[in-house]
Structure 1
Amino acid sequence: MSVTAITSYAQEDSLMNALEAEQARVPAKVTGAFKSTRVINNHSMEMLATGNLDVRILHRFGYINNGISELFGLDDASMRMGFDYGLTKDLNIGVGRSTFRKELDGFVKYRIWQQTTGAKNIPFSVILLQGISTWTEKSFTGKVSVEDRTAYYTQLIIGRKFSDRFSLQLMPTYLHRNMAFETGYNKDNIALGIGSRMKISKRMALTLDYTHSFTDLPDNYYNALSFGIDIETGGHVFQMHFSNASGMNERAFITETTGDFFNGDIRFGFNLSRVFSMKKKPAARQSKVY
């Protein structure tokens, strides 16, 4: 081998070593822990990019164990339509309206830390979530003020993408309702959510979403448990799932889940997410022709 070839190989090795050293000094942000900003019911550790609008349509049907007379729950449906927007890469806002109790809700979601690798190793992401909801259903006797119908919650999302296939997050939550619906209800609720995702193919993943209330729930009320499968189809994320919860906001599924999942009170549902880029792209430069 010639001296020139040896020198060339040595230069290439030196260049590669320098490039690897430079990459090690730059922290790499970990993304794609979940395919959507929701696990199923709960928010996920994912955030919308700046200027992105996420139009979300959530459907939940009746209990499958109602049998053929109710077409296994398909005759009974509730839904939530929501609009989430990325003000910045670390700050999202959103609003929604549910048919369950005709409820309006809104949230602010702020990312405190993002999981990174490399020179600055942050082992997990931390997101602060605050929300409000108020129901408009005329289902109670007497005059009920807007204040009485309003609930607030604060939640921390602490999550980690352990590998390309598996992600896990915990969601400690404090929920306050200004009015308790019935005797036995608590105005203040402490709960812990658990969300996970297991990737099974390039475009499909299994999801688990469970919320455990540490505040005693009244008789015939249960913790919300959901299993789903995410299917990514271009700009859409389509999710089919099974859940014992009918409500699709934090107040509803934490405090008003009336189905016992392990007794067969399971609802089939699906969530559809379509993200639109609302940020105007810079115009491409045109070369002058002389």
Structure 2
Amino acid sequence: MTSKKSTVLLLFFLLVSIVPSKAQMERERARVVEPVETFWTPTLVSQATTEQLEGGNLNVTIMHSFGIATTRPIQNFFGLDNIQNVRLGIDIGLSDKWSVGIGRSSLFNVVDLRTKYALLRQNTNGEVPLSISLKGDLGIITQENRQPFEDDISTLVSAIVSKKLNEQLRLQLSPMYGHFSTVAAGNVNNLFAVGMGAQINLSERYSLITEYYPVLGDKNPDTNNAFSLGLNIQTGGHVFQMFFTSTRWHLEQYVMAQNREQFWAGDFRFGFNVNRIFGL
């Protein structure tokens, strides 16, 4: 009997010691805080988002825009016969907060060097309620035009602020400044805008995206604020983006400076982006 009592007491003390340690482990796991995935891609349509590449990951992008869909739509197959601009780009995450990239656009053969750094990242426990990133871009026209190299340079600096409001809605604002070293007569060298963007998740695979570029202050003659509306499609290996847009450019400073069309007047074109992330 004494042996049975000893065995029961031993089992009791073992259970008492195991249960608190298990509860403590569960509490420690509950304290894990992770960054929130605000957007599915590092670029909305042409505006950069606060979404960062993980350190060591490589993002390959193909960005494509066509002609105006409403100009002789049957003859031009809704603009698809008229390729306007193609940008091929590569970005690499140097860390979970910092990425660098290079790309080339077929329009004017612009080569762009860019970098993005995350100052704040919205997290899962709500201690950091929004994300803030800084982006810089250097554009260089490489098409032969018989002008000095310094006249072919453009730059962009932007601060990107975003917030995931709930599982369906994400919003962002992007104050941006663009500078062109040399411009045509009547144009301005310095441009300011506040980019606006949103993503509305429809399901785990589909989401709507939109962006708008209201230019503040002086702007180039005959230019209009650019607008885009599109659809994200998650395909497992990559994110495919289809959109209608008023601009043929994929670089923010050129979107501010050279958007001639008005989306709501019917001057829109079809385009698509492909984003493929590789782990290195």
Give the TM-score normalised by the residue count of structure 2.
0.88
1:239–1:11 distance in 2 versus 1, CA, 3 Å: farther
Over residues 223-248 of structure 1, what are the superposed CA-to-partner deviations in whole Å (9 max), with x where a residue is unaligned?
A: 11100100000111000000000111
1:154 maps to a residue whose letter is V
Shift of 1:250: 1.6
Query: Counterpart of 1:259?
Result: 261
Name 2:9's counterpart in structure 1: none
Instruction: Give the count of matched residue pairs.
Output: 270
2:86 aligned partner: 79
Give unmatched runs, 5+ long, in structure 2: 1-12
Q: Which moved more, 1:92-101 or 1:18-27?
A: 18-27
1:85-119 CA-to-partner distances (Å, cap 9, x unmatched) read 1111101001100011211101111111111243x
Whose radius of gyration is greater, 1 or 2?
A: 2
In structure 2, the residue matched to 1:147 is 150
Q: CA deviation at 1:181?
A: 2.5
Q: Structure 1 10/261 Cα, relative in aligned 2: closer, same or farther at 3 Å?
A: farther
Q: SS of the residue aligned with 2:151? A: coil
Paired residues for 1:131-170 under 5 Å: 131-138=137-144, 143-170=146-173
Matches within 5 A, 1:121-200: 121-138=127-144, 143-183=146-186, 185-200=187-202
**Separation (CA, whole Å) in 2 of partners of 1:64 and 1:192:** 27
In the alignment, residue 56 of structure 2 is paired with which amino acid? G
The counterpart of 2:76, out of the listed 65, 70, 76, is: 70
Measure the CA separation in 2 of the matches of 1:195 and 1:23: 35
1:1-290 → structure 2 map (5 Å cutoff): 18=24, 21-23=27-29, 25-30=31-36, 32-66=37-71, 67-77=73-83, 78-118=85-125, 121-138=127-144, 143-183=146-186, 185-278=187-280
What TM-score does the superposition give when structure 1 sets the normalisation length?
A: 0.85
The alpha-carbon deviation at position 194 of structure 1 amounts to 0.8
Alpha-carbon distance between aligned partners in 1 of 2:18 and 2:45, rounded to the nearest angstrom = 49
Q: Decide whether the 8 Å contact of 1:27 with 1:121 is kept in 2.
A: no
Letter of the 1:39 partner, please give it.
L
CA 197–13 in structure 1, closer or farther in 2 if over 3 Å, else same: farther
Query: Which residue identity is paired with 1:173?
Result: M
Give yes or no for contact 1:103–1:136 (8 Å, CA) kept in 2: yes
Q: What SS does the corresponding residue of 1:196 show, helix, strand or coil?
A: strand
Tell me the percent identity. Answer: 31
Q: Distance in 2 between matches of 1:177 and 1:45?
A: 25
Distance 1:61 1:110 in 2: 31
Structure 1, unpaired ranges of 5+: 1-6, 279-290
CA distance in 1, matches of 2:195, 2:257: 13
Q: After TM superposition, give the deviation of residue 218 of structure 1 in Å.
A: 2.9
One-letter code aligned to 1:34: F
Q: Deviations over 1:125-184 (max 9, x none)?
A: 110111100112346xxx42111110111110111111111111110001111111231x
Using the TM superposition, give the Cα deviation of residue 22 of structure 1 relative to its aligned residue in structure 2, in angstroms: 3.5
RMSD, matched Cα: 2.5
Query: Residues 217 and 10 from structure 1, CA distance in 2 versus in 1: closer, same or farther, beyond 3 angstroms?
Result: farther
